[in-house]
Each structure stands twice: as structure tokens, then as C-alpha cells.
Structure 1
Amino acid sequence: MTQWFSGEEVYKIDTKGRVSIPADFRAVLVDGDLDGADPRTPSLMIHYGPAAKDRRLECYTMQAFKEVTDKLKKMPRGSPRRRALEGYFHGQSQRMTVDETGRLVLPQKLREMIGLEREVCFVAAADTFNIWKPEDYEQEKATRQAEIEDLVGEGVDPLSLLEEEGI
């Protein structure tokens, strides 16, 4: 995958759960779609496990989902750790397809998990993106900003944290 998600966008969601995906995000989904199907209708995986407790849905390109799956498959079959991770990751994910108009239909179950009603906030996370209720995302963003300021201090470039991690 050569592209990645970036930015944040707020879109309206209708009563049937239909929401347009930002065009830049759709391009990344097409790039990460392993099926090579119609580029107007890429697939993605929505992981709703513990992320839903954070009031968000985590969305993976098919390539990013495969990368996690490949790591799981290297674990001993039947091991407690593999079973737990398979249930966590595969058992709590749903494959979705973007329709020809660039919309995604979010099932009611997923909308209810995070309290989506009128608007959706798409937030990039490199090779994944998250779907938030806009108000919840604003609170999360403020919390994360405060955490970064606590780590680096006011007026210091947060990218300096990468150097501290030896990355």
C-alpha cells in the first residue's frame, strides 16, 4: 500500500446509515483493496470490539487487515493467545463495501455502539481510520493534545517524541 489516510472530515449520515466517505479516504481504500474489484466499490473491514468502548469504529483497508491476519496465522493454532486475538479481531469485525456513489451503509448495530445520529467524523490514523461521533472525537482530541503537551512540554514539536522512542 503506497497511500495512507490523513486528515479529519465531518459528514452527514442519513436515517438509513448511509454516509459518504471522503474522496481521499476512498482512494486509499481502493489502493488497499486486495480483490482488485471495481475501484468504485472497494471493500474495508470495520473493527468494533473494544474500540466501540472508546466510542469509535476502527476501519482497515483490506491490505492492513490482511497484515494483522498474517501475524495471527503465525501463532500456534489453538493457543489461548491466538484464540483470544482471533475472537477480538476477526470476531468483532465486519466486512463492508463502498457503493458506486462513494457511500458506506453503517449497520444500525454499529451506529448504536458509538451513538451516531446525524453526523460522522472520519479521522485518519495512517493505514487505518476511525469513525467517531463528532462530539466524542472533539473530547478525545482535546485529551490527546493535553497528553502530548504533558509529554513534550508547551511549544515543543511533538515529533520529537519519535526520536525519544529510537524510531
Structure 2
Amino acid sequence: MTRRLRFRGESTHKVDTKGRVSIPASFRRVLEAGDPNWTEGLSPELVIVYGDHRRKYLECYTIEAIEEVDDKIARLPRGSVERKMLERLFNGQSTPTAVDDTGRIVLPAKLREKIGIDKEAFFIASGDTFQIWKPETYEVEEAAKTEEWLDELPDDFDPLIFLDQVKEA
């Protein structure tokens, strides 16, 4: 099994009036490693999936990660509702982009408006993807869910126990 770099961490970055925002430096290394066409001096590419009206964040995929999703979608029966919907959500409601030579991407106005980003964007790692949120929305939606989940567990509970339930491939 090949070792794949994972996104790690969280940070908040300023968004300028043109929608340019810096990608965390450690995230850029993962984007480079996950882009089979990237070499030194080139800009790593990624795909931003914005999805339907219920999604309040942008999910950013390395090229390898989105190709894995595409391959799984392609294995579904052609013409099936599931395949059509997944193609719409992951192919239609997405936009390819690249990191510029200053380490930034441009978030198009449509995407900024969709999730309400104005002056700042909150980045959080999610394994082989990362998410971009309006900072206040993340605090209300996701941080609160995590706290609520943890509050239901005993104080001495170790979440790593869930890994013991994973079946080996």
C-alpha cells in the first residue's frame, strides 16, 4: 500500500477583494504530492467541489483524490440515478483550479457567495481533502457538533478506540 500524504491542521487566512486566498504551506505540499503532473516550478492543481445548496463549505480534492472518486462513480451503472447524481455533485458542481506561484488560489465570486466568505476563510484538514469555511459558520456548525459529541462521552474516553473497529483490507 502506497503511503499518501494527508492534510493536517487548521488555519484562518485573509481573502482579498478578488477572491485570492493563501493555501496553508503544509497543504500545498500535499497538493503537489497528489498531482501526478506536478513537478518543481509548476503549479499544483486541485478540484474544489461546492455541491448543492445544503453544503456550507468548499471541499478541496487533490487530483489523485478526485480521480479516486471519479473511478468509483464510473463503476456505477451508466444511467443509474446514483451515478447521475454523483456526477452532478462531483463533476458538475465543482471547479478545477491551481495554486499560483505565491501559494494562493482564487475563489470565484459564485463560491464565495455560496458559503458567505467575505474577508476571511477558515481551512481545516480532512484526510485526503481539506475544507474551506466561513469562520463563523464553522464555529456554529462543526465545532459545536464536535463539542456535543465529545460531551456525550465519558471524560476518560479515548476516541482512538474507534480505530480498533476498522476491518483490515
Match of 2:131 in 1: 130
Map residues 14-163 of structure 1 onto 2, 5 A cutoff: 14-37=16-39, 40-50=42-52, 53-139=54-140, 140-150=142-152, 152-163=153-164
TM-superposed CA distance for 1:53, in Å, is: 2.5
The CA deviation string for residues 39-98 of structure 1, in whole angstroms up to 9 with x for no partner, is: 541110111013x63421011000000000011111122222211211121111110111
Q: Percent sequence identity over matched residues? A: 48
Structure 2 letter corresponding to 1:62 = I
Long gaps (5+) in structure 1: none
Alpha-carbon separation, structure 1, partners of 2:89 and 2:29: 28
Structure 1 letter corresponding to 2:85 = A
Aligned residues: 165
Long gaps (5+) in structure 2: none
Is residue 8–residue 124 contact of structure 1 (8 Å, CA) maintained in 2?
Answer: yes
Q: In structure 2, do the counterparts of structure 1 residues 39 and 121 end up closer, same or farther at CA, with 3 Å as the change threshold?
A: farther
TM-score by length of 2: 0.89
Structure 2 letter corresponding to 1:131 = I
TM-superposed CA distance for 1:134, in Å, is: 0.9
Alpha-carbon separation, structure 1, partners of 2:30 and 2:105: 15
TM-score by length of 1: 0.90
Structure 2 letter corresponding to 1:142 = A
